[in-house]
Amino acid sequence: MSDQTTPQDPTTQHPAPEQPAQPLEHPGRTGDMRQQPDHGEDTYVGSGRLDGKRALVTGGDSGIGRAVALAFAREGADVALVYLPEEEPDARETVRLVEEAGRRALALPGDIRDEAFCGEVVARTVADLGGLDVLVNNAAYQMAQDGGLLDLTTEQLDRTMKTNVYALFWITRAALPHLAPGSTIINTTSVQAFQPSPPLIDYAATKAAILNFTKALAQQVAEQGIRVNAVAPGPIWTPLIPATMPTEKVEEFGGDTPLGRAGQPAELAPAYVFLASQESSYITGEYIAATGGRIVG
């Protein structure tokens, strides 16, 4: 497999539909997927852009979070990972990848719907890694409801809002006192913030909220020398997809993009590295869209 510097046709660089029709029990585990996502294990080559940084990544066990943790570690950062306890097998693999890169990995299992736990993960990161320089709010919950709003239960709405929005506020609020000038916050929004899918009405609403949170907070903390940006993924192949979407949607996932396929987590990690590094020093309150050609904004 070629590294990320080798020119390739982006339409054929990774698998195109049909993906395996393989329903997974939520939250889904990477090891159970017949078509494994690419997190950059064999391709990402670091260049020291995050040397000495201490990063906290929520949802760091798999998917985009794993790719970001791996890339950060290969760029020289120590990484704390937040994940649900049932995702422990995936988290152990991410820890292995970070440590294999020669960096420290801090595993923080728990549920970010708990406000107290959100404060604890920041405190543990600061205590164990010696500080905090980069916060990546990436964890999210989604569950498609083809029946529309009438099928959306208050229980699901509450879980989606608390995981995607409340936790973002709680973790960021706890982190701010520890962030020095030059620190960065990166939030994961989505193409859903711009082009909401009806079956994901609650999830799409939270991703729009995250985008606005990013823009507002960036203005609040700019004078402190803290930058706040976001990445807006399109359809990305992770365990979340077969664990939360109908089989027929999984099979065709990503096929309606101009590039004709789903993206891989490894294709997003460089955007997070850029926003975490000093190379993006004059960028704040913005987002990078990685959507396979879908027009957003």
Active site residues: 203
Angle at alpha carbon of residue 232, lines to 91 and 11, rounded to 5°: 90
Residue 116, number of CB atoms within 10 A of its CB: 8
**Torsion of Cα atoms, 91 then 97 then 101 then 106, to 10°:** 10
CA distance 277 to 289: 18
- Tell me the C-alpha to C-alpha distance, in Å, between residue 247 and each of 20, 25, 244, 251, 253: 9, 13, 9, 6, 10
**Which residues, including other chains, have CB under 8 Å from residue 185's CB and lie 6 or more apart?**
134, 135, 136, 137, 172, 175, 179, 217, 226, 227, 228, 229
In contact, 270 and 235? CB cutoff 8 Å: no
CA distance 229 to 136: 10
Pull the structure tokens for residue 286.
């913005």
CA distance 82 to 107: 7
SS3 6: coil
